[in-house]
A = this chain, B = another copy of it.
Amino acid sequence: MTHEVLYLSQDDVKATGLTMAKIIEAVEKGFVEMGNGRVEMPPKPGIHPGEGGDNFIHAMPAYIPAMNSAGVKWVSGYPVNQKKGLPYIMGLLIFNDPETGMAKAVMDCVWITAMRTGAASAVSAKYLARPESSTIGILACGVQGHTNLEAMSVLFPLKKVLAFDPNAENAENLANFGRSTLGLDVEIVKDPKQAVTGCDIVVTSGPILKKPHETIQAGWVDEGTFVSCVDFDSFFSRDALNEADKWTTDNIGQYNHYKDGMGYFQSCPEVYAELGELVTGRKKGRETATEKNFAANLGLAMEDMAVAPLIYDLAVEKKIGTRLPL
């Protein structure tokens, strides 16, 4: 008896038509499972080929019984690739049948990674931002700028986008996407402060740096704002960060590993809650209209494995992908 595995290229994955709304819903459900201690997600080990130690390939395994989802994402990040005209992030995800261990699918993980990262920001925002938030600042307008904007537009009545990027082309791309695809009013700003002060939601989505550039200063973030630090603490001065009323993350264990083991998040506020505690009500989200709330989510294998079954089911239903013998 020959068993088959379904291969989905990046184009195949996109062609499933899975929406950001469905991804947000799945990621939130995953955080509920995680908050209730029902996700198996070991630490992510990695290898670091090449000179300098900046390249990585990480194995990210997770098992979510309630979603009948098990698998691993094997994802690389090579800063040197951009000079070669190759993507920074590349990788594959293997999706397994938890009943037998057999691989059901191998799929490109780049689109999934971009989308679920935006979705996780939106889930944090659901609990930490003001529901009427309508003005959003995006600082650095690359892939994560796009998916974070899209995700926030699903959950909030966004009207106005302030887009900052030192690279004008990136800013233009985001402006076009915001206007054409999301129907938003987008203004490109030259001064990063304009994408922070006056915003209900701020997303920082630049490169992740061990030594933060600390562009955002104390006093820039308004009362009542929610900030998603997709690039960790890279964008913020320590004084600005310490204005946070609630400093949160997606996983305390992983946060402490990045902080104590790897040197990120130095002199940051104490973590108030992890996202699983917010979505299960174990810790309160926003309590007043004036809190300054932050999320520094790190990206979890759970999020990938929450999305993988949706991609798989749609691909099977729409007969997308290549069936291969195992």
B-contacting residues of A (Cβ < 8 Å)?
Answer: 1, 5, 7, 9-11, 40-50, 55, 57, 59, 61-63, 65, 70-72, 74, 76-78, 81, 84-86, 90-92, 94, 96, 98-103, 106, 108, 322, 324-326
Number of copies: 2
Enumerate 28 A-B pairs (CB-CB under 8 Å) in ascending A order: A5-B92, A7-B324, A9-B324, A10-B325, A42-B46, A43-B45, A45-B61, A46-B61, A47-B62, A47-B63, A49-B63, A49-B96, A50-B98, A50-B99, A57-B61, A57-B70, A57-B101, A59-B59, A72-B74, A74-B103, A76-B100, A76-B102, A78-B100, A78-B101, A90-B102, A90-B326, A91-B101, A322-B322
Q: How far apart are the CA atoms of A92 and B108 in the complex, in Å?
A: 15
Q: Do B74 and A100 touch (CB < 8 A)? A: no
Which of B63, B94, B326 is within 8 Å of A9, CB to CB?
Answer: B326
Question: Quick one: which of A11, A62, A86, A326 has the most chain B CB within 10 A?
Answer: A326
Instruction: Known contacts A7-B7, A74-B72, A102-B90; decide if A40 and B44 are in contact (CB<8 Å).
Output: no
The 7 A-B residue pairs with the shortest CB-CB distance, nearest first, are A76-B101, A42-B45, A49-B98, A59-B59, A47-B63, A9-B325, A78-B101
